[in-house]
Chain A
Amino acid sequence: MTTEELEQLLVQQPIALLHRLARGRVQRHFRAGKRRLIEVLLRHSAENRAGFESDLLTLIGERQTRPAPPPQQTPAARKPKPSAPPRRAPHKPVEPESQEPAITLSSWLEGLGVPPSKTFVPDAWQDDAIAKLREGDVVVSVPTGSGKTYVAVEAARRAIAENRTVIYTSPLKALSNTKYTEFSKIFGADQVGILTGDRRDNGQAPLLIMTTEILRNLLYDAGGGEIDVRLDTLGLVILDESQYIADPERGVVWEETIIFCPSQARLLLLSASIGNPHDIAEWLTSIRPTPCHLIRHSTRTVPLRAGYLHPNGKLTPLFRTVGIPHGHPGHLHPEAKRLFLQYEDETLPSGRRR
């Protein structure tokens, strides 16, 4: 391939393919427009022309082996359209693809609505978490929005009833403020305090809210001999959003807090779903006086469905199935696939049409 031919070929490719090609080759390629991206890619290709060309051809090959869009749609997808497509195209039944038929939009939307109101019944895992705190530390790793706060509240309630101090930490000041309001409503304003670097609001309350850094500093002071007497009565430390332990800058603060947490206090770690919660639990067991229990599940309480909304307003399911096909990222809905390919073909970063 001559450089000219190569450039020609690059120009013919959709921008998404160019970005894929640029990965690992060009820094900050997301920022570049198509022209610029081609320029940079060409310059880069000099380093290893053969490898570059073969990558390009592979990527083009991959595109072509994807199922072709239905024939009557092809010309529209390839050519600039005279006007924007009608915003709400009449719903056409989706062509069934090969084996099992893909779901229709209407059945994907089915079931949407408000559940009948029920009296609050805690989930089994919530009860379990609270019960296990009697025996030792607890790590909870469940999906977003499952109800971890309930566990924190009930555990705190018990500890307070036993005249113990409870510390609740979050990684963000904003979150601390929200919880301060929320817990004040639940326990009464006199029962809840909040500590920041320069302010103590109701610092003698049995339930104290602070960021993890502030707690770490308290523990440092205790280690240095300046014992805040309240640490003696500390019964429970709740670390919310504890997946922050993997934060590149701040993660170490969670480790320090856990390492220096007084041994008579129970630890309750609340975390979003992570890949290795058992490692965290095993670690706690290895360094803390009581064994640590892991409470984990990955099913969402409110089931989740994924969809695709085309810029022209057309909505379709993202996957072939109603729910999310766990472990099968490739089970795309044919309509979503077609529309997205069309999108990739048509979009230039400048917003112009090809």
Chain B
Amino acid sequence: MPPSIHPVDLIIALREKHLTPAIVFLTSRRACDEAMQAFDHSHILLPPSRQQAIATVLEKVIAQYPSIAEHPLIPTVQRIGVAAHHAGHLPSWKIAVEELMRHGCLDAVFATTTLAAGVDFPARTVIITQSSIRKSRDFMDLTIGEVQQIAGRAGRRGKDLVGFAIVTPSPYIDLNVLTKGFTGHPEAINSQFLISYPMVLNLLKAHPLDQIQPILAKSFAQFQLNQRAEVLERKLDDLRDQMEPFGPRVCTDWITEWQTFDQVRRQKSHRAPVRRHEPPEVAARFHFLTPGRVVGFARGRGVVLRQYRSKGQKSPMITALRQGGGITESPASTVTEVSDRILDCVDAPVYPWCTPESVEELLQHLEELPTRLPELPILIPKDNEPIPDAVVQTLGDFACPTCPSRSACQRDYPLASKLRQEQHRHLKSIQALRTSLWHRFQEKIDVLQQFGYLTPTAHLTEDGEWARLIRIDHSLLITELLRADAFNGADPAMLAAVMSSIAHDDDRPGAFPRVSSGLASLLGQVRKLAASLSPHEDPPLLRADIAAVTERWIGDPSLTWIGLCKNTTMAEGDIYRLLARTLEFLSQLHTLKGTHPGLADSASRAIAALRRGVLEELP
């Protein structure tokens, strides 16, 4: 049996059951193209009337977008009534396919999941062949929301009484992901509030520094952080109740008093008091690495089962249950991420420090956790000093040994101090939740001050005034390039070429034309600068082959679209997207005409040269 159904058989089966028109979601563009090729030797042939209907619709689309007149897929589409639709195609071709589908001319479209969002592209049936999709270079299970968006394309209002979402397996499919997706509630969505340099500059342009915090407070990010803080505040109320019996005694702050006394007693009994030299962030985090806490390691996630200090060095250690079932003991410093999630775990006095059932449950929960968890914002204190020797010397000054409430203190101390620690932890978390956005904003301010875009009082400098107009990815690199006068003397083609190598973030390999020597050396400079900025901004890929495509297109006005495509192995749709994004970047440079007239002029000439042929067809 083949690992998945043959595309021709699939279409025959769907037609026979009257389940057309259908959208067949496949894992990759290649799979879509191969599915189309599978029809080359099939006997499927549409009746002449339907072929004519397709031709009529296509004629109309071609009149508007001449670039697709010669599209190599037209004969196949007309013959079999099936088409492919994916990001490798030109937008105009995708519009043609959408139009054909809307007119009911097609029986099926092979598509990638990019089609799932928004495009009005309905069908009677949706065929699902996968349970995961490629996201930022890795495969991830589809979320419930995604499954429902994909399946939801089935059943057209006014044209269908019912819609059908049909799973047909291919290797690696996980049916559970899909059945959960069909039957479940979509996930809650979370804010992804990235603070960028242009955001900081534009906010500070419009508002003085002391008004920024209230503005950040209006974000959905802060709204959700507040929700989490409120949960903690309720816990804090509970703790306050539990602390009731441990109020002031002979001394007001008996817990601290007893703690210090107890600690000093112990320190004194050691000949050499242990000094802990641990980085403040490890120390700050260690409080939170309590049993049940979900944490991230360099590889995979885990749940903390126990925290302890190692015998010799007294360094902070944790025992953790790792994804996949491993139980590891490792220094607390190996934890890379402390999530705001605590799983229930029943502790036990011996290894693995919780009950076997609990281990099972934790593992189960670990697997089921969403891929992204809110991180616990942790404030890192500046000082975390051990008790000064002076205090140790004055042990005699403690009243505890003879105090009437000594036995009560000794008895209650473990619980009281545990509760109080928890209180402190929550208080710190709440404080961090309330201020984390502001801190992140301030970090960006620091960098912008360091580079001279902001004054020490957080006003825009002369450079900041124009830099705020660059509101695209890699804005710091671009503005630094301008300050370094990197484009002085660069012609429009070279300027556009560099912009496209900054704009392009796809690492799909391919073979491309060579760059001119001028461009090669300019790209070398850009790379160097990008590397030096890497602590403050992730460097772009800066691919020379990508730059070369743009340089060719602008440098040679007689080059046709087909000619350009022949020069590279990139898909048409990718070249189009590359040039469209380059246009976007160039148009931002064009806004700098007040301060950088030469550059703006070069940018607008590049835009004019770039916008021709296919790139002129759509706004």
Q: Kindly state the separation between the CA atoms of A228 and B149 in the bound complex, as whole angstroms.
A: 37
**Contact indicator B166/A201 (Cβ below 8 Å):** no
A262 an interface residue at 8 Å Cβ cutoff? no
Q: Kindly state the separation between the CA atoms of A346 and B187 in the bound complex, as whole angstroms.
A: 34
Q: Mark A158-199, 1 if CB is under 8 A from B, else 0.
A: 000000000000111111111010100000000000101111
Q: Smallest CB-CB separation from A332: which chain B residue?
A: B179
Please give the distance in Å from A171's CB to the nearest CB on chain B.
Answer: 7
Q: Mark B472-490, 1 if CB is under 8 A from A, else 0.
A: 0000000000000000000
A247 an interface residue at 8 Å Cβ cutoff? yes
Q: Kindly state the separation between the CA atoms of A113 and B183 in the bound complex, as whole angstroms.
A: 24
* Tally of contact residues, B, Cβ under 8 A: 111
- Of B187, B193, B220, the contact of A280 (CB 8 Å cutoff): B220
Q: Kindly state the separation between the CA atoms of A85 and B2 in the bound complex, as whole angstroms.
A: 11
Q: Kindly state the separation between the CA atoms of A20 and B177 in the bound complex, as whole angstroms.
A: 12
B192 an interface residue at 8 Å Cβ cutoff? yes
A289 an interface residue at 8 Å Cβ cutoff? no
- Of B182, B202, B206, the contact of A329 (CB 8 Å cutoff): B182
- Of A19, A241, A274, the contact of B189 (CB 8 Å cutoff): A274
- Of B160, B187, B326, B588, the contact of A275 (CB 8 Å cutoff): B187
Q: Mark B218-259, 1 if CB is under 8 A from A, else 0.
A: 111101100100000000000000000000000000000000
Residues in A neighbouring B203, C-beta threshold 8 A: 223
B407 an interface residue at 8 Å Cβ cutoff? no
CB proximity to A under 8 Å, residues B571-603: 580, 583-584, 586-588, 590
Q: Smallest CB-CB separation from A118: which chain B residue?
A: B158
Q: A145-B156, A223-B205, A301-B157 are known contacts. Are A255 and B583 too (CB-CB below 8 A)?
A: no
Residues in B neighbouring A240, C-beta threshold 8 A: 118
Please give the distance in Å from A199's CB to the nearest CB on chain B.
Answer: 5
Residues in B neighbouring A114, C-beta threshold 8 A: 159-161
Residues in B neighbouring A328, C-beta threshold 8 A: 183
Please give the distance in Å from B226's CB to the nearest CB on chain A.
Answer: 9
A65 an interface residue at 8 Å Cβ cutoff? no
Q: A177-B619, A279-B223 are known contacts. Are A304 and B165 too (CB-CB below 8 A)?
A: yes
B511 an interface residue at 8 Å Cβ cutoff? no
**Contact indicator A115/B3 (Cβ below 8 Å):** no
Please give the distance in Å from B333's CB to the nearest CB on chain A.
Answer: 20
Binds A, one of B167-175, B262-270, B417-425, B560-568: B167-175
CB proximity to B under 8 Å, residues A307-330: 307-313, 315, 318-319, 324-330
**Contact indicator A302/B183 (Cβ below 8 Å):** no
B281 an interface residue at 8 Å Cβ cutoff? no
A48 an interface residue at 8 Å Cβ cutoff? yes
Please give the distance in Å from A158's CB to the nearest CB on chain B.
Answer: 22
Q: Kindly state the separation between the CA atoms of A272 and B119 in the bound complex, as whole angstroms.
A: 12
Please give the distance in Å from A122's CB to the nearest CB on chain B.
Answer: 12
**Contact indicator B158/A117 (Cβ below 8 Å):** yes
Residues in B neighbouring A223, C-beta threshold 8 A: 202-203, 205-207
- Of A198, A241, A279, A312, the contact of B224 (CB 8 Å cutoff): A279
Q: A171-B117, A302-B156 are known contacts. Are A255 and B326 too (CB-CB below 8 A)?
A: no
Binds B, one of A3-11, A24-32, A92-100: A24-32
**Contact indicator B161/A113 (Cβ below 8 Å):** yes
- Of A15, A145, A305, A309, the contact of B168 (CB 8 Å cutoff): A309
**Contact indicator B327/A48 (Cβ below 8 Å):** yes
A73 an interface residue at 8 Å Cβ cutoff? no
Residues in B neighbouring A246, C-beta threshold 8 A: 189-192
Residues in B neighbouring A87, C-beta threshold 8 A: 9
A144 an interface residue at 8 Å Cβ cutoff? yes
**Contact indicator B2/A255 (Cβ below 8 Å):** no
Q: A171-B118, A249-B194, A306-B151 are known contacts. Are A51 and B166 too (CB-CB below 8 A)?
A: no
Residues in A neighbouring B227, C-beta threshold 8 A: 279
Please give the distance in Å from A102's CB to the nearest CB on chain B.
Answer: 15
**Contact indicator B155/A145 (Cβ below 8 Å):** yes
Q: Smallest CB-CB separation from A276: which chain B residue?
A: B188
Between B1, B18, B159, B167, the greatest number of chain A beta carbons within 10 A of the residue's beta carbon is seen for B1
B153 an interface residue at 8 Å Cβ cutoff? yes
B152 an interface residue at 8 Å Cβ cutoff? yes
- Of B3, B91, B175, B198, the contact of A311 (CB 8 Å cutoff): B3
**Contact indicator B171/A220 (Cβ below 8 Å):** no
**Contact indicator B162/A283 (Cβ below 8 Å):** no
A251 an interface residue at 8 Å Cβ cutoff? yes
Please give the distance in Å from B212's CB to the nearest CB on chain A.
Answer: 12
Residues in B neighbouring A182, C-beta threshold 8 A: 120
Q: Kindly state the separation between the CA atoms of A241 and B149 in the bound complex, as whole angstroms.
A: 11
Please give the distance in Å from B351's CB to the nearest CB on chain A.
Answer: 12
Residues in A neighbouring B184, C-beta threshold 8 A: 326-327, 329
Q: Smallest CB-CB separation from A346: which chain B residue?
A: B1
Q: Mark A232-259, 1 if CB is under 8 A from B, else 0.
A: 0000000011010111110110011011
Q: A304-B162, A305-B164, A305-B165 are known contacts. Are A51 and B325 too (CB-CB below 8 A)?
A: yes
Q: Kindly state the separation between the CA atoms of A310 and B2 in the bound complex, as whole angstroms.
A: 10
Residues in A neighbouring B434, C-beta threshold 8 A: none
**Contact indicator B188/A340 (Cβ below 8 Å):** no
**Contact indicator B162/A324 (Cβ below 8 Å):** no
B13 an interface residue at 8 Å Cβ cutoff? yes
Please give the distance in Å from A153's CB to the nearest CB on chain B.
Answer: 13
Residues in A neighbouring B127, C-beta threshold 8 A: 309
B122 an interface residue at 8 Å Cβ cutoff? yes
Q: Smallest CB-CB separation from B359: which chain A residue?
A: A51
Please give the distance in Å from B217's CB to the nearest CB on chain A.
Answer: 9
Residues in B neighbouring A295, C-beta threshold 8 A: none
A89 an interface residue at 8 Å Cβ cutoff? no
Residues in B neighbouring A351, C-beta threshold 8 A: 2-3
- Of A30, A85, A306, the contact of B182 (CB 8 Å cutoff): A306
Q: A255-B191, A259-B215 are known contacts. Are A283 and B220 too (CB-CB below 8 A)?
A: yes
A229 an interface residue at 8 Å Cβ cutoff? no
- Of B124, B168, B301, B325, the contact of A308 (CB 8 Å cutoff): B168
Q: Kindly state the separation between the CA atoms of A54 and B182 in the bound complex, as whole angstroms.
A: 31
A13 an interface residue at 8 Å Cβ cutoff? no
**Contact indicator B155/A273 (Cβ below 8 Å):** no
Q: Kindly state the separation between the CA atoms of A20 and B325 in the bound complex, as whole angstroms.
A: 13
Q: Kindly state the separation between the CA atoms of A255 and B221 in the bound complex, as whole angstroms.
A: 8
B185 an interface residue at 8 Å Cβ cutoff? yes
**Contact indicator B148/A273 (Cβ below 8 Å):** yes
Residues in A neighbouring B151, C-beta threshold 8 A: 304, 306
Q: A223-B206, A259-B219 are known contacts. Are A145 and B618 too (CB-CB below 8 A)?
A: no
Q: Smallest CB-CB separation from B127: which chain A residue?
A: A309
Q: Smallest CB-CB separation from A258: which chain B residue?
A: B220
Residues in B neighbouring A146, C-beta threshold 8 A: 157
Please give the distance in Å from B452's CB to the nearest CB on chain A.
Answer: 19
**Contact indicator B145/A283 (Cβ below 8 Å):** no
B492 an interface residue at 8 Å Cβ cutoff? no
B180 an interface residue at 8 Å Cβ cutoff? yes
Please give the distance in Å from A258's CB to the nearest CB on chain B.
Answer: 8
A287 an interface residue at 8 Å Cβ cutoff? yes
Please give the distance in Å from A205's CB to the nearest CB on chain B.
Answer: 13
**Contact indicator A311/B4 (Cβ below 8 Å):** yes
**Contact indicator A112/B18 (Cβ below 8 Å):** yes
**Contact indicator B324/A304 (Cβ below 8 Å):** no
B186 an interface residue at 8 Å Cβ cutoff? yes
Top 8 closest pairs, chain A to chain B, by CB = A144-B152, A302-B155, A51-B325, A24-B323, A48-B326, A223-B206, A275-B188, A246-B189
5 pairs from A and B in contact (CB 8 Å cutoff) = A16-B174, A114-B161, A255-B191, A301-B157, A315-B13
Show the binding face of A for B, using Cβ within 8 Å.
15-16, 19-20, 23-25, 27-28, 30, 44, 47-48, 51-52, 54-55, 81, 84-85, 87, 109, 111-115, 117-118, 143-147, 149, 170-178, 180, 182, 194, 196-199, 201, 213, 216-217, 220, 223-225, 240-241, 243, 245-249, 251-252, 255-256, 258-259, 272-276, 279-280, 282-283, 286-287, 298, 300-313, 315, 318-319, 324-332, 340, 343, 346-349, 351, 353
**Given contact pairs A247-B192, A302-B160, A346-B1, a sample of 11 additional A-B residue pairs in the complex whose CB atoms are under 8 Å apart:** A27-B299, A54-B325, A112-B161, A144-B148, A145-B152, A178-B98, A246-B191, A252-B192, A272-B145, A311-B5, A329-B184
